[in-house]
Amino acid sequence: MEIVTLKKLAELLNVSQSSVSKALKDSHEIGQETKNRIKALAQELNYKPNASASSLRRKSSKTIGVVVPLITNSFYALAMNGIETVAQAKDHHVLIYLTYETYKKEVDSIRHLQNGIVDGVLLSISRGTTDYEHLRELKSRNIPLVFFDRVCESMNGPWVTVNNHESGYAATEHLIKNGCKSVAYLSFANHLSTTGNRLKGYLEALKKCDLHLDEELIIECTNNDEENYKKIKKLLQSKNCPHGIFASIERLALITYHVCKELKLKIPNDLKIISFSNLETASLLKPSLSTMTPNAFEIGRKAAEILFENIEKKNFKGKLERITIPASLIERESSQLLP
């Protein structure tokens, strides 16, 4: 039996191939009568879009790619569970790529994903990325991309993230309300949408609460934990030692705990701490750690849902979905107001 192609259908119906294609996709560009005529013949001849040799339509790989900076951070491990829930319902495999916070590995991963192995990509940007050409390349190949957690604010793409600015504000305000007259911010890559907006929230809270902004209390941390340890130790040994610390990522809060142990500083008596964190052990630490906790599972789930909407409706020109999911302030011992 001869395979029925798009071309064959067009010839038989005396219309253009593009009209056939559009009609089968229910495009509004084609009149209802023509649509009916085209659909009827397609059905009669048992036309299968993927069997069409001349079609350039990409075949579904039944796979999505997830590109994240690291998995030693509990946020990503939990977000992955949310992504998996959706992918499983859609019968898709999930491929995970780690960029280890480097630009090079992010570019490599995105390029690798362009070779037809995935139907769409979920990405949380690496610390090292400041140029986005590789993402534009991906988009130009019509592979749907949804950002989650760390998004690219300058690109015209959908995303799901935390309400970083508001949460940064609330975390700082919480420390001030509990008695801190000075609050340090342990920053990490301020150009990232997440930690950058947390910093903005911190600054806004200081202003609102009439606290003096001391630039020396904004500590720039990096991927080098030994260096971070030294910087935090120096801060806590200085005359300028703050009453409270707001850690932008959980790793920095844990380092602060170690420094306090070494310096025999008591939390929350000598220093109060709050941190952005999804750490499972936060409530078991000594003292238990107050956290601003993102809804990691829901962020992953929602991002995957939007990705599949984009995969399934290829010419979808609806509204650009940009969703912000609030984090929860969980007060524990480390930031307690003392009598």
Residues that bind a copy of itself (CB under 8 A): 63, 70-72, 74, 76-78, 80-81, 84, 93-98, 100, 108-109, 112, 117, 254, 257-258, 261, 279-281, 284-288
Instruction: Find the shortest distance in angstroms from Cβ 68 to a copy of itself.
Output: 10
Q: How many CB atoms lie within 10 A of CB 100?
A: 14
Judged by beta carbon, residue 207 or residue 261, the one nearer a copy of itself is 261
298, two tokens: 């829901």
| Strand 218-221, strand 183-188: pairing | parallel
Instruction: Tell me how far apart the terminal alpha carbons of the chain are, to the nearest angstrom.
Output: 86
Instruction: Find the shortest distance in angstroms from Cβ 254 to a copy of itself.
Output: 6
Judged by beta carbon, residue 81 or residue 224, the one nearer a copy of itself is 81
Instruction: Find the shortest distance in angstroms from Cβ 217 to a copy of itself.
Output: 24
In the 8-state DSSP scheme, what is residue 319?
P
Judged by beta carbon, residue 129 or residue 277, the one nearer a copy of itself is 277
Q: Which residues contact 304 (CB under 8 A, 6 or more apart)?
A: 64, 82, 83, 85, 86, 87, 122, 146
Decide: 226 and 193 in contact? Cβ < 8 Å.
no
Judged by beta carbon, residue 30 or residue 311, the one nearer a copy of itself is 311
Instruction: Find the shortest distance in angstroms from Cβ 115 to a copy of itself.
Output: 9
Q: From CA 271, how far away is CA 243, in angstroms rounded?
A: 5
Instruction: Find the shortest distance in angstroms from Cβ 282 to a copy of itself.
Output: 9
Judged by beta carbon, residue 76 or residue 308, the one nearer a copy of itself is 76
Instruction: Find the shortest distance in angstroms from Cβ 256 to a copy of itself.
Output: 10
Q: From CA 95, how far away is CA 90, in angstroms rounded?
A: 14
In the 8-state DSSP scheme, what is residue 273?
E
Q: What is the CA radius of gyration of the chain?
A: 26
Identity at 256, one-letter amino acid code: T
Instruction: Find the shortest distance in angstroms from Cβ 317 to a copy of itself.
Output: 32
Helices (H), 209-272: 225-237, 250-263
In the 8-state DSSP scheme, what is residue 270?
T
Judged by beta carbon, residue 172 or residue 288, the one nearer a copy of itself is 288
Judged by beta carbon, residue 129 or residue 164, the one nearer a copy of itself is 129
